């Protein structure tokens, strides 16, 4: 093995075998798929990368087939974030004197106008009807929401916040209104398996009812179609690939790549606006 010092986003130029590398392993959280990682990979070889989607990291094994990478295996994980030329800072807005922070890990920041007033107003709570035991694994719900909900963002609040009930939550923003996902304990017990929690949407603002119902529908759809099936088929295409050349699915655009998720239960009508806009929409 020959150590190479340089920008990892460029791969290892000058050291690539004639047919390409048999495998590439990335050991930091990557917000994007560098073109060199795919281009220097042999046909049929594997790229393993901890990839961020909406700020949620999953280590994904990707197989190269032509210019397309196909997801073969997913693992929940976390690593140090990328640095150097590939480093980035997610756009963020601080509200309520810093008690609430909204972050957009992918895509264009939303319009936060009116949210200060909204957070001072009444809170609408909408129950989803989804009740789960303690220590329940909902890692696919995080990625599902991040790649199908319009206006998706992340909400953060300090411990002990009296304004919002979740320190780190999946959220959505639209029309001067905000909704986020949390859980409410409805049954206690001596052990986690004995406890019961319900997924609930908290929402603020003039469009609170609409946002809360859309978020609740997302949770119910995940429970109905995705919960038992795991992660979906997913392909990664070079940036600039026309929408008409992409398979049907929900598209998440990165600076260097287009990710297409084929979630079960989603129809072409669900993803039509997504493909034409080139960003995550329902």
DSSP string, 75-91: EE---PBP-GGG-----
Instruction: For residue 245, give the 3-state DSSP assignment.
Output: helix
Residue 52: Cβ within 10 Å count: 23
**In this structure, what DSSP letter does residue 232 have?**
P
Q: Give pLDDT tens digits for 172-222.
A: 999 999 999 999 999 999 998 899 999 999 999 999 999 999 999 999 999
Residue 113: Cβ within 10 Å count: 10
Task: Check residue 103 and give its pLDDT.
Answer: 94
Q: Give pLDDT tens digits for 73-98.
A: 999 998 887 777 667 788 999 999 88
As given in the structure block, the two tokens for residue 269 are 């009508």
Given a contact cutoff of 8 angstroms between Cβ atoms, the answer to whether 118 and 176 are in contact is yes
Q: Give the Cα separation of 265 and 279 in Å (integer).
A: 19
**In this structure, what DSSP letter does residue 224 have?**
I
Region 220-234 average pLDDT: 96
The CATH architecture that domain 1-88 belongs to is 3-Layer(aba) Sandwich (3.40)
Query: Does the model's pTM come out above 0.95?
Result: no
Residue 132 β-bridge partners: 197
Residues 6+ apart with CB under 8 A from 227: 140, 141
Mean pLDDT of the chain: 90
Dihedral sign of CA atoms 232, 238, 242, 244 in order: negative
β-strand 21-25 against 41-53: which pairing, if any?
A: parallel
Q: Is the pLDDT of residue 161 over 90?
A: no
Q: Give the Cα separation of 227 and 138 in Å (integer).
A: 8
Q: Give pLDDT tens digits for 8-63.
A: 787 878 888 999 999 999 999 999 999 999 999 999 999 999 999 999 999 999 99
Q: Give pLDDT tens digits for 108-158.
A: 888 999 999 999 999 999 999 999 998 888 999 999 999 999 999 999 999
């Amino acid at each position: 093995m020959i150590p190479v010092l340089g920008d990892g986003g460029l791969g290892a130029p000058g050291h690539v075998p004639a047919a390409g590398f048999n495998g590439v392993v990335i050991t930091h959280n990557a917000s994007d798929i560098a073109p060199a990682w795919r281009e220097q990979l042999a046909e049929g070889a594997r790229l393993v990368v901890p990839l961020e989607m909406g700020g949620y990291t999953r280590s994904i094994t990707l197989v190269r087939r032509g210019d397309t990478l196909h997801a073969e295996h997913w693992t929940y994980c976390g690593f140090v974030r990328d640095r150097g030329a590939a480093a980035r800072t997610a756009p963020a807005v601080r509200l309520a004197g810093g008690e609430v922070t909204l972050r957009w890990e992918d895509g264009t920041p939303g319009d936060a106008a009116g949210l200060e007033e909204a957070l001072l107003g009444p809170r609408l709570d909408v129950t989803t009807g989804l009740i789960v035991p303690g220590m329940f694994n909902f890692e696919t719900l995080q990625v599902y929401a991040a790649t199908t909900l319009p206006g998706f963002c992340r909400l953060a609040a300090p411990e002990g916040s009296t304004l919002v009930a979740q320190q780190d939550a999946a959220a959505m923003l639209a029309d001067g209104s905000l909704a986020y996902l949390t859980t409410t304990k409805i049954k206690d017990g001596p052990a986690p398996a004995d406890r019961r929690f319900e997924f609930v949407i908290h929402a603020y603002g003039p469009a609170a009812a609409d946002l809360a119902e859309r978020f609740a529908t997302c949770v119910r759809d995940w429970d109905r179609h995705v919960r038992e099936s795991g992660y979906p088929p997913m392909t990664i295409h070079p940036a600039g690939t026309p929408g008409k050349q992409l398979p049907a699915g929900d598209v998440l655009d990165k600076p260097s790549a287009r990710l297409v998720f084929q979630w079960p239960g989603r129809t072409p009508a669900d993803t039509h606006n997504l493909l034409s806009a080139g960003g995550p929409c329902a």
